[in-house]
Structure 1
Amino acid sequence: MTSGMTSVPNFALYGTQAQPTWRDLVHFERIPERSGLHNWEIEPHFHDALIQVLYPISGGGETFIDGRKWTLQTPCLIVAPAHSVHGFHWTIGDVDGPVVTAAQRPLESLAATASPELLQHIRKPTVLHVDPTSRHAESLMPLFDAIEREAATHTQGQVAAGMALMVALFVQIARISETSARAEEDDVPRTRKALQVERFRALLDEHCRERVPVERYASELGVTAGQLTRLCREVMGMSTLDAINARVVHEAQRELVYSSLSIKQVAAELGFEDEAYFGRFFKKQTGLRPTEFRANARRELAGA
């Protein structure tokens, strides 16, 4: 590693001269397109105003970011923020995956407004192993595919769409980072329980509009209703039924605020056959009738 930042090449992209940062605010390519031209060795360099996110899904190698070395086990995510000195040594020929390069300041500005907690993930060099079976991993390639389409579409709104997709990508990176951190802190039995709860949360997302009973969730997880409740209390701090109800309320609140559906229609969308029963359920959970919640929330939005 060189002794001073000024001696490290400043590349807009691998092996190209730096360009004005307003050009191609979101750029997409695949790892072999450029690394293959450099014998799978990318020497240490930095980007003056650009952040790169790589998602190698096959092959392997090593990366060096700000003096730290990572051995890459695919699939993984690599974040190299602006000014971080980074380089790559890829295994020859079998590496593939997308690379996204974006202007960091506009990305930070959008993230600061939409979700400020993302800034730490945008600014921190990192390598994250990705569990390909996790629900967060399932969202990665569709996002990269959407970024690729936007990068290739030179039309109105390209920059806004590209940056919005970058924020969505970092939402997934933040979720994967949190899951990885929890796994590192937990012992083996706890990790197993955490994975079960992760699966339960995924089932909640899938069935929250169906009024599914506790027993069905337990059956899909291969445990008894009592075991599932004990698991939820231990990991989530609430019973299975409380977790189900909380997820239904979240969905109801979203429909009440952002849709034009009537209360009766919202009730039907969430699997309630009776509008009155839905009203009693919602008030018990939130302290407000659906009409009161909708009016209050829309007033707050109008005044924001």
Structure 2
Amino acid sequence: MRGTTVLPGTPGLPPPAGDVPLHRLEVAGPGSVPFAAGTFQAVGPLSRWDRPHRHTFYEIVHVSAGSGTHVVDLARWPVRPPHLAVIVPGQVHHWEGGRGPEGTLVLFTDDFLMDHPGDRDVLRRLGEQCWFELDTEHDRSVRRLMGELVAEHRQRAPGHESVLRALLHVLVVRAARLPGRTGGGRAPGAQGRPAAVAEAFTRLVSRPGTAGRTVRECADHLGVTPGYLTQAVRAATGRPPGRLLIEARVYQAQRLLAHTELSVRQVAARTGFTDPAYFSRFFRRETGSSPGDFRKHHGRRHPSLEAPLTRA
């Protein structure tokens, strides 16, 4: 996927005014596998960054020690190891306070899942739940798998790419089996092309630029009719695409209010509203609070958030 990886030392692109910094995955060289694994220390200081940011890549984190809080989108998760965290491209997250965290990270782009494309849907579901407590047995299993991924990535023996993809697939499947969590199985009736359309729609609505799009516009973009899109999305998610578009619009507004210095008028424009007053009514109807009240209770804006990054 173009633009998701960079070479080491490539300067990061400054985010658009008021937006959240976007990190890309560093790879060893042109043609290198879009994958990285290691401890927090090995991956680097940005792995523990305390400023809200997002990625072009997936991140699976096994937290084995430390304290503080992991903030993903607007949810706050206390660090009480052992945990497994799954962050998907586009989610805003950062680490707050405490000591640590310590543990192991696995980073990879969407392209790396080419051997197991169904894992994309599983990871999306895991990302929605995000934070998984591990008992002794599951902690041991995750620790062993993460260790194998780190060793395979470090040694780069012949055939290591295939081994990495196989081990990652096992990790994703086992994460979906964790107690108290729903698995990654596809909803009944979502097979073949309808499932692919629903997945493409899900990826489309997660992009910031889709705010304000209609179901018809999304259907045109995906090359299907609005009726077909509605049937495919309902079969896969149980909800109509119009509802998902509204939720995506609300989520983007919440993210901008919580993590940027944009005015309410600017947030309204970014989310496709020409009338700030109408945006405020929409936001209150969907969340139960005004944009100003939401920002007061959820905002955590860093004074240098809009400064250009020195690395990706």
TM-score bracket, normalised by the shorter chain, equals 0.3 to 0.5
Max radius of gyration: which structure? 1
| TM-score, structure 2 normalization | 0.46
Q: Which has the higher helix share?
A: 1
